[in-house]
Each structure stands twice: as structure tokens, then as C-alpha cells.
């Protein structure tokens, strides 16, 4: 069984690998290179073809902008199966954009630092991999410098996101109250996602109006961060995004030490200290006993528990005492026997929807982050359950993009949703099974 699943996963990843040296998240639905997908994909590739993993990350970093920014999509080709494409995003409006690649002007969770460390963990020839890391690591450092210089408006060690697509958790109910503060035009456009996937599993037309509206505002300001910080109706501190930054800081520190190149370590440690403090001070909610999102526009927390709330474990952010509380919250709200771990949104909330994308379904990349985070704090039984649930969902349904967390439904129907033969589900399953 295990060998069979690994073989299937490798076939999917090889099939999704493109000539330009990158892997698409899935055919039809996502025909380009996505930032955090590439990172998770490289972790899977590292187990069976390290050269491919190296290429994946090198290609992504090749699209870095002059200010250290790394875009969320790199448009390597002219595919028209995805909306909105390069002609909507118009990265050329920014004087700092890559001259080599068209891209978006927004980013995604900064996973690349810890991905390099994961590749090092997996590598058999560690010396060879360190040589490769030496050629890439400064680009990742520059990306972190970008976040601390241009995205930390209150100088508290936390980077803002200005678009829901930057969070990676696109239509989370977290954003619902922000949409109420906006009134975008009823844009005319042709969506492509709902030609690949049932519309009931995707965001609504009105949600897309909001998504496009924020892009238009950012474009009016030529993707200038200071102007975006001043004018974007969406400005949020996201616990997942910042946990990934903090985990990646830690990895960069470890890797620079291994390289014997410690010139940047003091700066990374200073950022790290500030970020961990900022995260604990600003994002912890004493009543919910969880980390939550923070709306910088309203200057108020967004008080819901999501799978992002638990990602802090992977980055070692909570004290053991807080981690214990976080585990209680997770098991109390998300851990019932009738559920697979881990729903993406609080299953007790009336905003929970078990079929709709980031409003409830289980995602394998989040489960991978949570599995590793739970292990870090010694919560081995729950870590094991997250792993077993991930394997069971894929084994039963296939390598889908997301899954219905309700077990009863799982017994009777196929409950894998979104894209099939999805790259990070394949890649991270390989890592979980090895
Ligand atoms: C927008 C590629 C990406 C993931 C995101 C996921 C989805 C895109 C979309 O697909 O977002 O970036 O068009 O819906 O939400 O996490 O990186 O797999």
C-alpha cells in the first residue's frame, strides 16, 4: 500500500513538472508556478529526485524582484486556462519587478527558508546540497529583509498581507467582515476555475469582485508597499503567514551556521526575537485560547479559530503552557471522533462549510505543518492522528486539493474536492510516508 501510494505520488509530480524547470499545482486549474506550492513540492521531490527539487526552488528564486519580493505566481507561459492572468496582474507596473518573468504583484507565505532546511534533512549527499544552498540562501534572506523593511508597518516584527490570496487561504470566513467594508464594482470577467471545478466548491462571483478590486487598488499605486499599506482596504496580520516567516528565519539561522557563513545571523536573530514577541503579544486570544488574525484597518483582532491558528507550533512560537492550551482548543473544536483532522475552519461556527475550499475542508499542506508542529511539542499521539487522517483521505479519495472533514460523509461519497492529481498533496504524502 505504502509503496503503491508513493509511486502514484511520484507519477503525479513528474506529470506536473514542466520544461521551464517548475511544477504546476495541477493541470487545467493552476497552469503556472505558485510560490508556496513550489516549496511543498520541492520537499516531496527531494525524496526521489534532488536535482528536480533544486531546480524547482532555483526557478522560483530567479523570479525575485529587485527589492527582495518573491511573487505568488510566476507566469512562465501564456496559458489561458487561469483567471486572472498576467494581463490583469501587470507586474510591469512596478519599477522593481523582474524583467525576465511576468508575475503577480502579491506574495504568499514565506516557506522557502524552511524548505531549504527540509531538503538538507532529506539529502543523502549533504555536502553537495550545502553547496547548492550557498548559491540560493542570500535570495531567501533578501526576501525576509523585504518583509521586515516594507511589510512591518508598526515595527512589531509582523508582516502584513494586503490580499486574501497572499494568505494562501483564499476564501476563509476570516475575510467575510472585511468584504462588508468594501463595495467593489460588479466586474465583467470570465472565470476559468469554475470550468474545471464545481462552482459549489469555489469562491463566489462577489468574492472575486473583492479580490479583483484589491488588485486594482494595488495597481493604481504601482505595487508600492507604502502606498498599499496606506490605501488597501485589506490589511491583515495573518498567523499562518507570520509563523512561516518565523520558522524560515530559524532555518536560515541553522543553515548559515552550517555553511560557516554567520555574517547575517545576528540580524536574523534580532528579527526572530522581535517577531516571536510580536506574535505572542498581538495574535494570542486569551478567551479563545488560540492565535487569531488581526485586522490592521480596524485595529482589532478577527476572533475565529482556523487551522492557521495552530501553525505557530511548527515555528516554536508558543511557550509549552500556551502550546498545551492550543492543543486543547484544537482537540475541543476540531478533534471530535466524527471529524478528520484538521478542518481549515472552526467546525462549530455557522460560517463553517465542509465542501467550500478554505471554509472548512482539510488541506494536506496544513496537515503537514500541523503534524510537524505537534511533534515539535511532543504531542505525538495527535501528530500521528493527523498523519493517519491525511493518508486515509488520500487513499480513499485520491490526490485531491481538499477534502470534506466529516467522516460520515466520507463513508458514503467521494469527498475529495477541487483539483485532482494535486502536486502538494502528492509531495507531502511522500514526506509523511517516508
Ligand atoms: C490563487 C495554487 C493555489 C494555492 C492557494 C489556493 C489556490 C489560487 C486560486 O491555489 O489559490 O492563488 O486561484 O484559487 O488557495 O493556497 O497556492 O495551488
Give the per-residue pLDDT at 180: 98
Ligand 1 near 208 CB (within 6 A): no
Ligand 1 near 37 CB (within 6 A): yes
Ligand 1 near 25 CB (within 6 A): yes
Give the per-residue pLDDT at 178: 98
Ligand 1 near 170 CB (within 6 A): yes
| Per-position b or e across 170-198, b if 16+ CB within 10 A of its CB | bbbbbbeebbeeeebeeeeeeebbbebbe
Pocket test for ligand 1, best of 168, 311, 417 (most atoms within 8 A of CB): 168
pLDDT in tens, 93-142: 999 999 999 999 999 999 999 999 999 999 999 999 999 999 999 999 99
CATH of 2-433, one of 3.30.420.40, 1.10.460.10, 3.40.50.720, 1.50.10.10: 1.50.10.10
Of all residues in the chain, the percent with pLDDT exceeding 70 is 100
- Nearest-atom number in ligand 1 for the CA of 422 is 18
Give the per-residue pLDDT at 126: 98
- Nearest-atom number in ligand 1 for the CA of 363 is 16
Q: Which band of pLDDT confidence, cut at 50, 70 and 90, is reported for residue 365? A: very high
Q: Answer whether residue 363 shows pLDDT above 80.
A: yes
SS (H, E, C) the chain: CHHHHHHHHHHHHHHHEECCCEECCECCCECCEEHHHHHHHHHHHHCCCHHHHHHHHHHHHHCCCCCCCCCCEEECCCCCCCCCCHHHHCHHHCCCCCCCCEECCCCCCCCHHHHHHHHHHHCCCHHHHHHHHHHHHHHHHHHHHHHHHHCCCCCCCCCEECCHHHHCCCCCHHHHHHHCCCCCCCCCCCCCHHHHCCHHHCCCHHHHHHHHHHHHHHHHCCCCHHHHHHHCCCCEECHHHHHHHHHHHHHHHHHHHHHCCCCCHHHHHHHHHHHHHHHHHHHEECCCCEECEEECCCCEEECCCEHHHHHHHCCCCCCHHHHHHHHHHHHHHHCCCCECCCECECCCCCCCCCCCHHHCCECHHHHHHHHHHHHHCCCHHHHHHHHHHHHHHHHHHCCCCEECCEHHHHHHCCCEECCCCCHHHHHHHHHHHC
Return the domain boundaries, the chain. Answer: 2-433
Catalytic: which of 117, 346, 389, 401? 401
Cα 104 from Cα 235, distance rounded (Å): 18
Q: Answer whether residue 408 shows pLDDT above 90.
A: no
Mean per-residue pLDDT of the chain: 97
Active site residue 170: yes
Rounded to an integer, the average pLDDT of 215-243 is: 98
Centre of ligand 1 from the C-alpha of residue 421, in Å: 15
Catalytic: which of 92, 170, 176, 388? 170
Active site residue 125: no
Centre of ligand 1 from the C-alpha of residue 428, in Å: 17
Q: Which band of pLDDT confidence, cut at 50, 70 and 90, is reported for residue 413? A: confident
Centre of ligand 1 from the C-alpha of residue 210, in Å: 16
- Nearest-atom number in ligand 1 for the CA of 169 is 15
Q: Answer whether residue 411 shows pLDDT above 80.
A: no
Residue among 76, 18, 28 at smallest CA distance from 52: 18
Cβ atoms of 38 and 63 within 8 Å: the answer is no
Give the per-residue pLDDT at 412: 78
- Nearest-atom number in ligand 1 for the CA of 72 is 12
Predicted-complex ipTM score? 0.99
Amino acid at each position: 500500500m505504502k509503496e503503491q501510494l508513493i509511486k502514484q505520488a511520484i507519477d503525479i509530480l513528474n506529470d506536473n513538472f514542466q520544461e521551464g524547470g517548475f511544477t504546476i499545482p495541477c493541470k487545467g486549474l493552476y497552469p503556472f508556478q505558485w510560490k508556496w506550492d513550489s516549496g511543498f513540492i520541492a520537499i516531496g521531490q527531494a525524496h526521489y529526485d534532488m536535482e528536480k527539487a533544486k531546480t524547482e526552488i532555483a526557478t522560483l528564486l530567479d523570479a525575485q524582484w529587485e527589492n527582495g519580493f518573491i511573487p505568488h505566481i510566476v507566469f512562465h507561459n501564456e496559458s489561458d486556462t487561469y483567471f486572472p492572468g498576467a494581463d490583469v496582474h501587470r507586474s510591469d507596473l512596478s519599477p522593481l519587478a523582474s524583467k525576465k518573468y511576468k508575475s503577480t504583484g502579491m506574495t504568499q507565505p514565506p516557506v522557502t527558508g524552511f524548505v531549504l532546511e527540509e531538503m538538507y534533512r532529506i539529502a543523502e549527499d549533504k555536502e553537495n546540497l550545502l553547496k547548492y544552498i550557498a548559491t540560493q540562501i542570500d535570495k531567501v534572506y533578501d526576501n525576509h529583509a523585504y518583509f521586515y523593511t516594507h511589510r512591518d508597518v508598526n515595527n512589531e516584527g509582523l508582516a502584513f498581507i494586503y490580499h486574501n490570496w497572499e494568505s494562501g487561504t483564499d476564501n476563509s470566513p476570516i475575510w467575510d467582515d472585511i468584504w462588508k467594508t468594501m463595495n467593489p464594482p460588479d466586474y465583467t470577467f470570465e472565470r476559468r476555475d469554475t470550468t474545471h471545478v464545481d462552482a459549489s466548491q469555489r469562491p463566489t462571483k462577489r468574492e472575486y469582485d473583492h479580490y479583483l478590486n484589491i488588485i486594482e487598488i494595488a495597481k493604481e499605486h504601482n505595487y508600492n508597499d507604502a502606498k498599499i499599506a496606506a490605501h488597501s482596504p485589506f490589511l491583515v496580520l495573518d498567523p499562518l503567514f507570520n509563523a512561516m516567516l518565523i520558522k524560515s528565519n530559524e532555518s536560515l539561522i541553522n543553515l548559515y551556521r552550517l555553511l560557516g557563513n554567520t555574517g547575517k545571523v545576528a540580524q536574523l536573530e534580532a528579527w526572530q526575537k522581535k517577531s516571536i514577541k510580536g506574535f505572542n503579544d498581538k495574535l494570542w486570544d486569551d478567551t479563545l485560547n488560540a492565535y487569531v488574525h488581526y485586522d490592521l484597518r480596524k485595529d482589532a483582532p478577527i476572533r475565529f479559530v482556523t487551522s492557521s491558528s495552530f501553525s505557530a507550533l511548527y515555528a516554536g512560537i508558543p511557550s509549552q503552557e500556551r502550546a498545551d492550551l492550543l492543543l486543547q482548543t484544537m482537540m475541543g473544536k476540531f478533534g471530535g471522533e466524527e471529524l478528520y483532522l484538521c478542518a481549515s475552519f472552526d467546525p462549530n461556527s455557522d460560517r463553517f462549510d465542509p465542501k467550500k475550499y478554505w471554509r472548512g475542508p482539510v488541506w494536506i499542506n496544513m496537515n503537514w505543518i500541523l503534524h510537524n508542529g505537534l511533534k515539535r511539542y511532543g504531542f505525538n499521539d495527535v501528530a500521528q492522528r493527523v498523519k493517519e487522517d491525511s493518508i486515509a483521505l488520500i487513499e480513499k479519495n485520491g490526490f485531491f486539493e481538499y477534502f470534506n472533514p466529516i467522516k460520515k460523509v466520507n463513508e458514503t461519497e467521494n469527498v475529495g474536492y477541487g483539483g485532482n492529481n494535486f502536486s502538494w498533496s502528492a509531495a507531502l504524502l511522500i514526506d509523511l510516508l517516508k
